[in-house]
Chains A and B, each alone.
Chain A
Amino acid sequence: MNPDGPLSPHPPVAGRVLDAQLHLLDRQVLDADGVPVTTADDIEIDGLEAGVPIPPGAPAPSLTALLTGPVLGTRIFGGRPPSSRLIRILWKDVADVGIVISLGVRGGSLDADWVERWVRDKIIARIPGGRHDPR
Chain B
Amino acid sequence: MKKLLGLALGVLTAIGGFVDIGDLVTNAVVGSRFGLSLVWVVLVGVVGICLFANMSGRVAAASGRATFEVIRERLGARAGLANLGASFFINLMTVTAELGGIALALQLASSVQYLLWIPVAVVAVWIVIWRVRFAIMENVAGLLGLCLVVFAVALFLLKPDWANLAGQALAPAVPGSETGAGYWYYAVALFGAAMTPYEVFFFSSGAVEEGWSVKDLGQARSNVLVGFPLGGLLSVSIAACAAVVLLPAGVAVTSLSQVVLPVAEGGGKLALAFVIVGILAATFGAALETTLSSGYTLAQFFGWSWGKFRRPVQAARFHLSMILCLVVGVGVLATGVDPVLVTEYSVVFSAIALPLTYLPVLIVANDPQYMGHHVNKRPVNVLAMIYLVIILAASVAAIPLMIITGAGS
Touch between chains A and B, by CB atoms below 8 Å:
yes
What residues of chain A have their CB less than 8 Å away from a CB belonging to chain B?
21, 25-29, 35-39, 41, 68, 72, 75-76, 99-100, 107, 115-117, 119-120, 123-125, 127, 129-135
Main secondary structure of the interface of B (DSSP, over half): helix
**Set of chain A residues within 8 Å of B300, measured between Cβ atoms:** 28
Complex Cα distance, B302 from A135, in Å, reads 25
**Shortest distance between the CB of A32 and any CB in chain B (Å):** 14
**Shortest distance between the CB of A19 and any CB in chain B (Å):** 12
Complex contact B77–A99 (CB within 8 A): no
* Given known contacts A123-B316, A124-B320, A134 and B76 CB-to-CB distance under 8 angstroms: no
The answer to whether B131 has its CB under 8 Å from any CB of chain A is: yes
The answer to whether B133 has its CB under 8 Å from any CB of chain A is: yes
Identify the stretch in B13-21, B214-222, B307-315 within 8 Å (CB) of chain A at 4 or more residues: B307-315
Complex Cα distance, B314 from A117, in Å, reads 9
Enumerate 10 A-B pairs (CB-CB under 8 Å) in ascending A order. Answer: A27-B73, A39-B302, A75-B78, A76-B81, A115-B317, A116-B304, A116-B316, A120-B316, A129-B130, A135-B309
Complex Cα distance, B317 from A28, in Å, reads 16
CB-CB nearest in chain A for B127: A129
Complex contact A124–B305 (CB within 8 A): no
What residues of chain B have their CB less than 8 Å away from a CB belonging to chain A?
63-65, 69, 72-73, 76-78, 80-81, 130-134, 299-306, 308-314, 316-317, 319-320, 369-370
CB-CB nearest in chain A for B134: A134
**Set of chain B residues within 8 Å of A72, measured between Cβ atoms:** 77, 302
* Given known contacts A116-B304, A123-B316, A134 and B132 CB-to-CB distance under 8 angstroms: yes
**Shortest distance between the CB of B63 and any CB in chain A (Å):** 6
Complex contact B65–A99 (CB within 8 A): yes
**Set of chain B residues within 8 Å of A116, measured between Cβ atoms:** 304-305, 316-317
Complex contact B134–A26 (CB within 8 A): no
Complex Cα distance, B403 from A13, in Å, reads 59
**Set of chain B residues within 8 Å of A35, measured between Cβ atoms:** 305, 314
**Shortest distance between the CB of A127 and any CB in chain B (Å):** 7
**Set of chain A residues within 8 Å of B311, measured between Cβ atoms:** 130-134
**Shortest distance between the CB of B359 and any CB in chain A (Å):** 16
**Set of chain B residues within 8 Å of A27, measured between Cβ atoms:** 73
**Shortest distance between the CB of A122 and any CB in chain B (Å):** 9
* Given known contacts A124-B319, A129-B130, A133-B311, A99 and B63 CB-to-CB distance under 8 angstroms: yes
Complex contact B316–A25 (CB within 8 A): no
Complex contact A119–B320 (CB within 8 A): yes
**Set of chain A residues within 8 Å of B64, measured between Cβ atoms:** 99-100
Complex Cα distance, B306 from A124, in Å, reads 13
* Given known contacts A38-B303, A99-B370, A116-B305, A26 and B316 CB-to-CB distance under 8 angstroms: no
CB-CB nearest in chain B for A31: B305
**Set of chain B residues within 8 Å of A127, measured between Cβ atoms:** 130, 312
Complex Cα distance, B69 from A100, in Å, reads 10
Complex Cα distance, B245 from A105, in Å, reads 65
Complex contact A26–B72 (CB within 8 A): yes
**Shortest distance between the CB of B222 and any CB in chain A (Å):** 26
**Set of chain B residues within 8 Å of A36, measured between Cβ atoms:** 299, 303-306
**Set of chain A residues within 8 Å of B319, measured between Cβ atoms:** 124, 130
* Given known contacts A129-B130, A134-B308, A134-B311, A124 and B77 CB-to-CB distance under 8 angstroms: no
Complex Cα distance, B76 from A29, in Å, reads 15
Complex Cα distance, B187 from A29, in Å, reads 42
